Structure 1
């Protein structure tokens, strides 16, 4: 039978999970914006606009230590970080464009090598999605095959109801387990109707047509036209739910330090710089071309998926006004 949950009970659910030792990541107000952050209480839950940053940090932190080392007279001691120590986590009120991204990233983090840091966090996380009832001009999830009420990637999905509260739909076994285990917070569905979903601007994209154009236009002058504005700042990649480039560096001294994995971006000038000094993507137009190729061609060639969920964060944050949807629209029109 369909279930509902009130806003008050949703906040009480957060408090209960926290008391039991779970980590709850959800939209939290930070000044004038909302961010996906670990909550300390249900009162901190912000149920407003799309968070400024994506939720990928829940599974793929900006920077994480993967081992530490220490040298003394007895030799070198290496201490690995044990992923088994990661806490059980609930990612709460993840918008559809964020909830869909981890299932896309699973492919790359379990391809030719199992990244246990990422995969263990995935295994220990339950995702509670939240439908969008508003959208701005940058939202384009429908253009890439998603929707403001898409349950893809969610274990449990919440839909705002007229008069308040949320309809709760179990999508996976994890979601069913949460509903059953936390039954005291949920009620049988009444007569309240769901609020209508948002209507993102713009038409759907023909992703196959775009991929076909990318297959045959590696040297097209369009790349130079676009990149004349690109500053190579990396904001688009760092805010994107699906970008996943990273670097691994050793930090510290000869005697003591740590090996850390940190985000990187293909838009940075040194991303492909070789030890020899050669850089195969030495100009910004080549780097921006790789961003589009990766999202709409290379990832699809390798994994059969589009590496974009249409969240629009790259559009909102670009300091020089590059609009990826407009770029795709231009390619789609050719």
Structure 2
């Protein structure tokens, strides 16, 4: 049976988790924006708007050190960073479009190579999702097969009640463990859910879009879109599911570090080879890869889409490119002829 938790007790839960030494991440006011940031107290929780950046930073930091080196008279010492030192974490009040990206990222970071940094963070994180009560014109989660109360990726899931407080549904064993450890803050009951947000864009025919992409690797559409694309990478950096990264050694002769940092397939040098050859040397090829990766390649490889419809790329694009409009247009295009060569 579902439990309920009052707004006051949700804040107390955060305080309790912080006092237990856990890292608690949640929406927090940061100047004029809301961001997913570490919370020092429950009072810092800000549920007024979708955070500007996604929650993927909880598991996949913008930049992280994976080893350090130091040279002295004795030689060179290389020290690996211990993933075991990553703290236990609770991600609180994450929106469904952010939470649904976590299982998507799991696939790529545990496929042919086990990324111990990412997987350690994921394994040590309990996610408390929160249903969306509002949506703006950029939201399109329902168009890509999700919903504003989708529990995918959550361990516990909160739904706002009309009388105040939240219904709490247990989704996983992790969620059950957290609830059991803090049972005094929860009450028996169900309650009446408050109205959910309703994104303006309805469901897209994703199968039809995939079929078109299968057969139109070469198409004038890519040049039409890329005429506007600035290649700034804002869309990739804000996306909950984009996961490109680069690894660089930073420092000097005596000491330094090897770091993993975010990258983006929209950047001009992303595919630059050591030989100087660049197989995606113009922007139409790079934007094509963005759409193909999200709605064809990832589907072919993992049977999942690399997009959760959060709309951040739409809001942030400096030249007004709208991925939902692009997908809608693809869904209406003639299926042939074309070339699916890739």
Q: Which TM bucket (shorter chain)? A: over 0.9
C-alpha distance in structure 2 between counterparts of 1:167 and 1:69, whole Å: 50
Q: Give yes or no for the alignment of 1:139 onto 2:134.
A: no
C-alpha distance in structure 1 between counterparts of 2:80 and 2:177, whole Å: 33
Partner of 2:338: none
Partner of 2:11: 11
C-alpha distance in structure 1 between counterparts of 2:206 and 2:78, whole Å: 47
Task: State the SS of the aligned residue for 2:153.
Answer: coil
Partner of 2:171: 171
Deviation readout 1:253-279 (Å, 9 max, x if unpaired): 011000000000000000001112111
Task: State the SS of the aligned residue for 1:4.
Answer: strand
TM (norm. structure 2) is 0.96
RMSD, aligned CA: 0.7
C-alpha distance in structure 2 between counterparts of 1:177 and 1:265, whole Å: 37
Partner of 1:226: 225
Once the two structures are TM-superposed, the CA of residue 14 in structure 1 deviates from its matched residue by 0.5
Q: How do 1:48-59 residues align onto structure 2 when only pairs under 5 Å count?
A: 48-59=48-59
Partner of 1:193: 192
Partner of 2:39: 39
Q: Give yes or no for the alignment of 1:278 onto 2:277.
A: yes
C-alpha distance in structure 1 between counterparts of 2:194 and 2:138, whole Å: 21
Once the two structures are TM-superposed, the CA of residue 163 in structure 1 deviates from its matched residue by 2.3
C-alpha distance in structure 1 between counterparts of 2:54 and 2:149, whole Å: 17
- Count of residue pairs brought into register by the alignment: 333
Partner of 1:82: 82
C-alpha distance in structure 2 between counterparts of 1:303 and 1:202, whole Å: 25
C-alpha distance in structure 2 between counterparts of 1:317 and 1:306, whole Å: 21
Larger displacement relative to structure 2 (52-61 or 173-182)? 173-182
Task: State the SS of the aligned residue for 1:135.
Answer: coil
Partner of 2:202: 203
C-alpha distance in structure 2 between counterparts of 1:31 and 1:73, whole Å: 48
Q: Give yes or no for the alignment of 1:313 onto 2:312.
A: yes
Task: State the SS of the aligned residue for 1:193.
Answer: coil
C-alpha distance in structure 2 between counterparts of 1:181 and 1:276, whole Å: 56
C-alpha distance in structure 2 between counterparts of 1:202 and 1:149, whole Å: 16
C-alpha distance in structure 2 between counterparts of 1:154 and 1:275, whole Å: 41
Once the two structures are TM-superposed, the CA of residue 3 in structure 1 deviates from its matched residue by 0.8
Task: State the SS of the aligned residue for 2:92.
Answer: strand
Larger displacement relative to structure 2 (287-296 or 173-182)? 173-182
Partner of 2:244: 245
Partner of 2:105: 105
Partner of 2:337: none
Q: Give yes or no for the alignment of 1:290 onto 2:289.
A: yes
C-alpha distance in structure 1 between counterparts of 2:281 and 2:306, whole Å: 24
C-alpha distance in structure 1 between counterparts of 2:80 and 2:185, whole Å: 40
C-alpha distance in structure 2 between counterparts of 1:32 and 1:130, whole Å: 22
Partner of 1:183: 183
Once the two structures are TM-superposed, the CA of residue 32 in structure 1 deviates from its matched residue by 1.8
Once the two structures are TM-superposed, the CA of residue 128 in structure 1 deviates from its matched residue by 0.2
C-alpha distance in structure 2 between counterparts of 1:193 and 1:161, whole Å: 5
C-alpha distance in structure 1 between counterparts of 2:73 and 2:171, whole Å: 56
Deviation readout 1:158-191 (Å, 9 max, x if unpaired): 000012100000001111111111101111116x
C-alpha distance in structure 1 between counterparts of 2:2 and 2:256, whole Å: 53
C-alpha distance in structure 2 between counterparts of 1:122 and 1:235, whole Å: 24
Larger displacement relative to structure 2 (202-211 or 81-90)? 202-211
Task: State the SS of the aligned residue for 2:304.
Answer: coil
Once the two structures are TM-superposed, the CA of residue 203 in structure 1 deviates from its matched residue by 2.0
C-alpha distance in structure 2 between counterparts of 1:245 and 1:179, whole Å: 35
Q: Which runs of 4+ in 1 moved over 2 A?
A: none
C-alpha distance in structure 2 between counterparts of 1:230 and 1:147, whole Å: 29
C-alpha distance in structure 1 between counterparts of 2:146 and 2:221, whole Å: 27
Partner of 1:304: 303
C-alpha distance in structure 1 between counterparts of 2:326 and 2:253, whole Å: 48
